[in-house]
Amino acid sequence: MTARVPSKAQGRYDSAIRAMPTCRVLIVDDDDTNRFMMSRFLEVDGYEVLAASSGAEALTILRETTISLILLDVHMPDMDGLEVCRRIRSDPKNRKIAVVFLTADPPGSGGEIAGLEAGADEYLHRPISRQVLSLRVRNLLRLADAEREEQILAQVAQSEKLAAIGQVAAGVAHEINNPLAFVLANLETLRDYFDELNTVLEAWRSSPAQGRAAENRVDLATVRADVRPLINETIEGGERMRTIVRELKSFMRGQDDFVESVDLSDVARSTLVLTERELLSKSTLVRELDSAWIDAAPRQRLHQVVLNLIINAKQACEARPLGPGEHHRIEVRTGTEDGFAVITVSDTGAGIPEDIRQRIFEPFFTTKPVGVGVGLGLSLCAMVMDQVGGTIALDSRIGFGTRFTLRIPTERPRSASASSIQPAP
Amino acid sequence: MTHILVVDDDPSVHRAIERTLRGPGRVFTCTTRAAAALEQLAARPTSLVLCDLHMPEMSGLEFAALVRTQWPHVRCVLVTGSVPTPALHDAARRGDFFGLVPKPWLRDELRTTVAAALSPPDAVTTDHPG
């Protein structure tokens, strides 16, 4: 059974955007009734509203809070709206804030030019219909929304990267701690051996009889037989740690989106080395890693993708417990096929129910318990596949398992946006 | 004769533990698999099991719980290179194992824990002798 995964299109990040705080609007008016009414209107429209009764108060709020739009009365005692607007615009960090003047002056009385010159985006006259105000505000905030969306994408990628680093760190700690345990223990034993050899040597220097007695006392035969294997094992332990660190360096190499020539099998191998004992110790791991070069791809991102697929496979297996003596199977394969570098990660886990296959690539969609996953793994995979012009497909059968297949063009696509997510063949 | 059973999927760890703990009257059996360890427990009197938390087939916690049910007089000391999990704390509260030694261990820590595990159980928590 094959699921068709919806293309990125609209909406993939809708849930993420809904999860973000709403736009914040500041209303500046010395008239209590005006301020109250405007606040109500905009709150009903779903904005977070702050209010100030003077220009000075507005500027203070601006210094302390991120504001997307300001609704500004023109005539106020002390500092008028024009002056407030000029001061806002004089600080470059406020350049993205939309400023809307709202005045009771009749149209044509000359204030409009001055207001727009001061840097306002709109100059509106009272009385104004609630609907017009609402639409003006929405349209002005469209830009702010687009920017927020970009920030969300960056946050999705970043939080997923942190989660992945956490997983890798746990694996690395375990991989290092095991050899470190016997390397340190062996060195302490070696120090004992050295002391014992010294004792025997000193005794021999005194007399052959004392030497022989000391040899028996410290069991010299055992010590001599054990020194070399002990040193060899210790060196082997050090080499294992060196391998882990080398794989870690490969894993961490390159900036997030730095594009280079990458062998997908290399990415899969170092990801597996770092995670297999921690993540996959309960399953039979099958790896068939044929080289699969991609001309230009962000290595870091691919590591995260492979790691996420492996973590998912492990969790899918845990979700379908087996009887005693039975083992789950996780298979990771890489290779090339018709100009594509291909990686498949398959598990014998619970499978993905048909009704949620459409949703699993949405950010924050998760079926995992709280604390196990935040639901960003597959959305990150989909994002990276978009970035490299690749496709991601899944086959799944409830109670039998799931296979993810990622296909990335080995030559750089002409345009990264020419991507699609397709059903498995 | 004190028979100590070491279960760890890494043979280098077997030898390091044996070198650290060996002494007069102590005999070691080392195995990389839980199944083989259970066979050993069935086959010969055992004083203590040192068991890695991470094992293929059966986790150290499952293994310790099984040992406690079937051979209640055999104490289990878990050895781990990972961060303790909630499941580990639960097992500790249930008394599924006697002690926990981290990897890498401090030599005295390992020796002291093992000595305590080999000392006779006190009167309050008497186990049924095998």
C-alpha span between A328 and A279 (Å, rounded): 13
Query: If we measure between CA atoms, which residue out of B2, B130, B103 comes closest to residue A183?
Result: B103
Residues of A in contact with B104 (CB under 8 A): 177, 180-181, 183-185
Residues of A in contact with B110 (CB under 8 A): 185
Residues of A in contact with B19 (CB under 8 A): 185-186, 189, 226, 230
pLDDT at A29: 94
Q: How far is A184 from chain B (nearest CA, A)?
A: 7
Mind listing the pLDDT tens digit for each residue in A322-351? 887 788 999 999 999 999 999 999 999 989
Return the number of other C-beta atoms located less than 10 Å from residue A226's C-beta.
Answer: 17
Q: Which of B19, B57, B81 sits opposite A177 (nearest CB)?
A: B81
Token representation of residue A247: 């794989």
C-alpha span between B10 and A32 (Å, rounded): 76
C-alpha span between A6 and A391 (Å, rounded): 11
Q: For residue A128, what are the CA distances in angstroms to A103, A158, A167, A201?
A: 10, 44, 56, 103
Kindly determine whether residue A182 and residue B13, on different chains, have CB atoms separated by under 8 Å.
Answer: yes
C-alpha span between A411 and A418 (Å, rounded): 13
C-alpha span between A266 and A262 (Å, rounded): 8
Sign of the dihedral defined by the CA atoms of residues A41, A45, A46, A48, in that order: negative
Mean pLDDT of A237-246: 87
C-alpha span between A401 and A322 (Å, rounded): 13
Query: If we measure between CA atoms, which residue out of A315, A311, A264 comes closest to residue A290?
Result: A264
pLDDT at A196: 95
Q: Which of B16, B55, B81 sits opposite A186 (nearest CB)?
A: B16
User: Which range is most confident: A44-58, A251-265, A376-390?
Assistant: A44-58
Place of tokens 């926990």: B100
Classified as helix, coil or strand, A347 is strand
Strands B75-80 and B48-52: parallel
Query: If we measure between CA atoms, which residue out of A346, A265, A274, A339 comes closest to residue A312?
Result: A346
pLDDT at A12: 39
Kindly determine whether residue B105 and residue A237, on different chains, have CB atoms separated by under 8 Å.
Answer: no
Count of all residues that appear for chain A in the document? 425
Mean pLDDT of chain A: 83
Residues of B in contact with A281 (CB under 8 A): 54-56
Kindly determine whether residue B13 and residue A181, on different chains, have CB atoms separated by under 8 Å.
Answer: yes
Asked whether the whole model's pTM tops 0.80, one would answer no
Residues of A in contact with B56 (CB under 8 A): 281-282
Mind listing the pLDDT tens digit for each residue in A270-325? 888 877 776 666 788 899 999 999 998 888 888 888 988 988 898 888 888 888 77
Q: What ipTM does the predicted assembly reach?
A: 0.87
Q: Which of A182, A192, A228 is most worth mutating to test chain B (most B CB atoms within 10 A of its CB)? A: A182
Inter-chain contacts counted by CB atoms under 8 A, chains A and B = 70
C-alpha span between A228 and A165 (Å, rounded): 38
Kindly determine whether residue B16 and residue A174, on different chains, have CB atoms separated by under 8 Å.
Answer: no
pLDDT at A412: 65
Kindly determine whether residue B12 and residue A184, on different chains, have CB atoms separated by under 8 Å.
Answer: no
Q: Which of A180, A189, A229 sits opposite B20 (nearest CB)?
A: A189
In sequence order, what are the residues at sequence separation of 6 or more whose Cβ sits closer than 8 angstroms to the Cβ of residue A307? A164, A167, A168, A271, A275
C-alpha span between A123 and A116 (Å, rounded): 7
Mind listing the pLDDT tens digit for each residue in A90-122? 988 888 899 999 998 888 888 899 999 999 999
Amino acid B77 reads: V
